[in-house]
Every structure is written in C-alpha cells, then in structure tokens.
Amino acid sequence: MGASDFVNLPNIGASIRRKEDYRFLTGGGQYTDDITLAHQSYAVFVRSPHAHASIKSINTSAAKAAPGVLGVFVGEDVAADKINGLPCGWLITSTDGTPMKEPPHPILAQGKVRYVGDHVAMVVAETLEQAKNAAELVEVDYDVLSAVVKVTDAAKAAALHDAAPDNHCYKWAIGDKAQVDAAFTGAAHVTKIDLINNRLVPNAMEPRAVIGSYNRASDEYTLYVANQNPHVERLLLTAFVMGLPEHKVRVIAPDVGGGFGSKIYLYAEDVCLTWASKKLNRNIKWTADRSEAFVSDAHGRDHSSHAEMALDKDGKFLRCACTPTPTWAPTCRPLHRPFRPFCTRPCWPASTPRRRFMSRSMPGSPTPPRLMPTAAPAVPEATYLLERLVTRAGWELGLAQDEIRRRNMVTQFPYQTPVALQYDVGDFRALLGTRQRAGRRGRFCPTQGGDRSQWQKARHRLLQLHRSLRPGPEQPCRRARCTRRFV
C-alpha cells in the first residue's frame, strides 16, 4: 500500500474519542499491583551495591530462620534446577563474520555481579515487611573489582565477562567504505562532530510489578506482569529460559501504567517469581519501589558518536560517515537490539548518495542500560546526531539552516536511501515552507521584546510539524542580537 492510499482508509486524520479515559480518570484502572490472589506471599530481592564484584560467599541461614520466611533463593538454586539465563533476542554478525558475543545472564547472580542492582538473592515471606526484614539478614561477601562508567573507557578496563575479554560485544557496519572514503578525499568541505547522547532512566507512572502463580492440579503457570508485550514474554519465558510448553503458561498484562519501552522486556524478576511459585506452591508478588526501579529497570541511550559529512562547494551532501559507540548492557537483555536500527534511521529526506555507519558496542555502566529507551526506537538518537551534523555544516559554510536543508531534500520518488530504507512519496520542501510560515521565523522571539503569547502559539504550531520533518534541536534564531547556538 502506498502512502497516497492511506487517505482512503477510515478514521485517518479524524479525532477519535478514547474509550479508556473514563475508567482511568475515575480511578477504575487495574494495575498488576492492584491484584491480590489467595494465599499471596511477597518477594524482595537482595541486590548488589557494587558495579563489578566477585561473590565470595552468601550466608542465608539467618534470613531463612526469620519470622514468616517461606524461602530464600540464590544463584546456586537456579543452576541446580537448570533454569537458563535471559537470552538476547536480536543477534547480529560482526564485520569479520563472527557472531556477536552473548554472555550468560542468570536470573540470580552466579559467581559475579556486573552492575549496581544485580540480583543476588530472592527472599519470599508471608508479608512484605517480613520479606524486607529477612532480606537485610542475607550476608554477602564481595571481592570488589574495578569498574568504569564511560563507554569510551571500557576497552581498557577489566573484563566484565570471560566470553568478552576485550569488553567488545560486536562491530557492525553498513555502507560502502571504499566509495565513502573516496568522496571524503575529494570533498570541498568536511564537517565533523563528536556527541555524547546521555543516559536515560525510565520512570513510569506505575513501577514494574509481577505476580507468579502455579496450579498443581493442572501443572500450569499464570504470570501477571506489567508488560508491553506479553506474547513475546511468554515465548521467551517458556522456550528459552524455563523449558516449558508454551500452552502451560498464561501471561496476563493488566493496565501497564506507562512503559515507553522499559516494560517490553522479560526481566529476571518475572522468571524468578514464576519459578519460585512452583517450588513453594504459593502465589508470589513483587512490586519495585522507586529506588529499586532506578537500578533495575532497563536504561537507555548512553552513546558516544563521531560523525562526518562531506559536502561540495554549494553545500550539497556527498557522503556521510558515522561511528556510534553505544553502551553494551552488562548482560544482554531479551529484545536487546544492537545498533542496526540506529544506523538505518539517519535518513531524513535528504539526498546523500553514499553513507557508512560502523557501530562498536562495549560495556561501561554501573547500572543496567537498555539500548533503545523510548517509543520510536533509535529515531531520537539518529535524528539528534544527523540534525546536529547538518546544523554544524550550515554554520561552517555560512548557509542558513533552512537553506542547507532545502538544497538537499529529496524531490524524485521513490527514493532508495543508501542504508536500506526507501521513501515512496513526499513533498518535503513544501512541508519546510509550511513550518516556516507557521513559526514566522524569529518574529516572535521573546528575547527581542516581542509578544510572548504569540510566540508561544507559533512555537506550538511549529512543534505540530515536528515529526513530519524529524528535526533535531531547536535551530538558532538568525537575527541580530539573538543567536542561540548548540555547540
């Protein structure tokens, strides 16, 4: 179906009334934490305070003897029951033909912890207070090892995994290196930029929550979980981790309470509670508190990127080369996506004959990151990098920001980009003109004493066109005495 066909579909462009608002606005939502099952017990996790350490010993005797405790589990218990670690759901091959390294990710740490918040032990008790009190009685003897925070320091750091002694997960590339290098050699101008895309920590309205339940009569499991993708969660849980028939496990996702990608994974807590519910023959509930979520939820971005663009004397794009280095999670996560989505996204509607992207991924984090943190994965990161690069090129060549973009916009369709994606139709120059008219470029800039209310209205209209052009940071206001620049 082409883009022009969508206008004939029902409801396209119409304002559709949401059906769920009344329930949520009147307090009728039901989240995982609202569910209470019969004979429900509670789980609390003992987590690592260190980013990198060997576990010398774990003493659980006092915790097991505490009031109300039903069970205390550690990594040895998981290994004894042959519960697999969490898989990486999106594997790629490096440029030398070798598969990316996929170190094990046990649901409870075995021998070593690799990030602050790593799961060391799980305590299950009759009440939440009893579980918390018993968790404080678990004694863990750590041998603290060196750790790094910046991904750029990971290559010289101590090995996080035996499977990756050089802390190198993969090296992946797309594009013709020889042609790109040749274009840079003969270019009239080359713009270069180094960027750090800072780490993000998710903070949903409702924290992650899990309830694991087991029915002895039918030998079936039920998992209530705040998850954005329950079907994939069940597949990973059964086929890859616990080795169960898929029809024996039911995953129920009530109201999620916000996610934007952070709740799309199969987490260790989900497996732990499902597994322990059978061992104890009890329904078990766990809900993260805010501090716990900060170190246990999947983080995002944390990239260090170098990008270059070759241009001719008229400011036309010739070639683009980028080397992003994303932080590799200390343990690869299910649906952990290497940098291929990023490398195929820097294709806003500009005609660049050749592009090359090479991604290296290394660990370097005190808490667990997630590669793609938000909705529209890789779009914000790729757009930010590309827009900053084009903006810098405009400054260096003395071209207005709208002009350098207009000169390079695609006008012939369909247009096949050099990095997989194809544009079937579009009138991007017209959209740019509409954006300029909506914003009345610089006329209502509040720093020049203009009408701030009019400026805010114009800015709101400008943002409505934001996604149609995939812009990056706010562009500098090119008028005297009012220049905003992003270095």
Q: Which residue has the higher pLDDT, 412 or 357?
A: 412
State yes or no: pLDDT of 124 exceeds 50. Answer: yes
Mean pLDDT over 68-90 rounds to 94
Provide the 8-state DSSP code for 332. Answer: P
pLDDT at 57: 98
Domain boundaries, the chain: 32-146+203-296, 170-200+301-437, 438-487
Considering the chain, what is the average pLDDT of its residues? 83
Which of the residue ranges 200-204, 294-298, 391-395 has the most confident prediction, judged by mean pLDDT?
Answer: 391-395
- Are 366 and 113 in contact by the 8 Å Cβ rule? The answer is no
State yes or no: pLDDT of 324 exceeds 70. Answer: yes
Q: What is the largest CA-CA distance in the chain?
A: 78
State yes or no: pLDDT of 1 exceeds 80. Answer: no
pLDDT at 197: 85
State what percent of residues in the chain have pLDDT above 90.
50
Q: Which residue has the higher pLDDT, 291 or 372?
A: 291
Spatial distance between the Cα atoms of 337 and 324, rounded to a whole number of angstroms: 14
**Helices marked H in 95-254:** 128-135, 177-185, 230-235
Q: Cis before residue 414, ω within 30 degrees of 0?
A: yes
pLDDT at 345: 53
State yes or no: pLDDT of 439 exceeds 80. Answer: no
Token reading at 402: 């709208």
Q: Which residue has the higher pLDDT, 203 or 370?
A: 203
Mean pLDDT over 453-480 rounds to 46
State yes or no: pLDDT of 221 exceeds 60. Answer: yes
Q: To which residue do tokens 């200390």 refer?
A: 330
Give the pLDDT band (50/70/90) at residue 452.
Answer: low
Cβ neighbours for 179, distance < 8 A, ≥ 6 positions apart: 319, 354
Mean pLDDT over 17-41 rounds to 93
Mean pLDDT over 442-469 rounds to 52
Provide the 8-state DSSP code for 32. Answer: G
Helix, strand and coil content of the chain, in percent to the nearest 5, comes to 30, 25, 45
Token reading at 327: 């932080």
Exposure string of 350-374, with b = 16+ CB inside 10 Å and e = fewer, is bebebbbbbbbbbbbbbbbbbbbbb
pLDDT at 329: 56
pLDDT at 330: 59
State yes or no: pLDDT of 94 exceeds 80. Answer: yes
pLDDT at 459: 57
Spatial distance between the Cα atoms of 105 and 56, rounded to a whole number of angstroms: 19
- Are 154 and 148 in contact by the 8 Å Cβ rule? The answer is yes
pLDDT at 325: 73
Give the pLDDT band (50/70/90) at residue 486.
Answer: very low
E strands along 292-363, which residues? 299-311, 317-328, 354-363
- Are 250 and 222 in contact by the 8 Å Cβ rule? The answer is yes
Instruction: Name the nearest CA neighbour of 105 among 290, 265, 287.
Output: 265
Range with the poorest average pLDDT among 84-88, 188-192, 230-234, 253-257: 84-88
What CATH number does the domain located at 170-200+301-437 have? 3.30.365.10
Cβ neighbours for 270, distance < 8 A, ≥ 6 positions apart: 210, 212, 223, 225, 227, 233, 237
pLDDT at 462: 52
Instruction: Name the nearest CA neighbour of 141 among 47, 17, 56, 224.
Output: 56
Q: Which residue has the higher pLDDT, 169 or 263?
A: 263
State yes or no: pLDDT of 331 exceeds 70. Answer: no
35, burial (CB in 10 Å: exposed 0-12, middle 13-18, buried 19+): middle
- How many C-beta atoms lie closer than 10 Å to residue 119's C-beta? 23
pLDDT at 293: 94
Spatial distance between the Cα atoms of 41 and 57, rounded to a whole number of angstroms: 27
Mean pLDDT over 455-466 rounds to 54
State yes or no: pLDDT of 444 exceeds 70. Answer: no
- Are 172 and 286 in contact by the 8 Å Cβ rule? The answer is no
Provide the 8-state DSSP code for 287. Answer: E
Cβ neighbours for 379, distance < 8 A, ≥ 6 positions apart: 345, 470
> pTM for the whole thing?
0.82
Which of the residue ranges 132-146, 155-169, 430-444 has the most confident prediction, judged by mean pLDDT?
Answer: 132-146
State yes or no: pLDDT of 88 exceeds 90. Answer: no
Give the pLDDT band (50/70/90) at residue 381.
Answer: confident
Which of the residue ranges 65-79, 83-97, 455-469 has the most confident prediction, judged by mean pLDDT?
Answer: 65-79
Yes or no: domain 32-146+203-296 corresponds to CATH 3.90.1170.50: yes
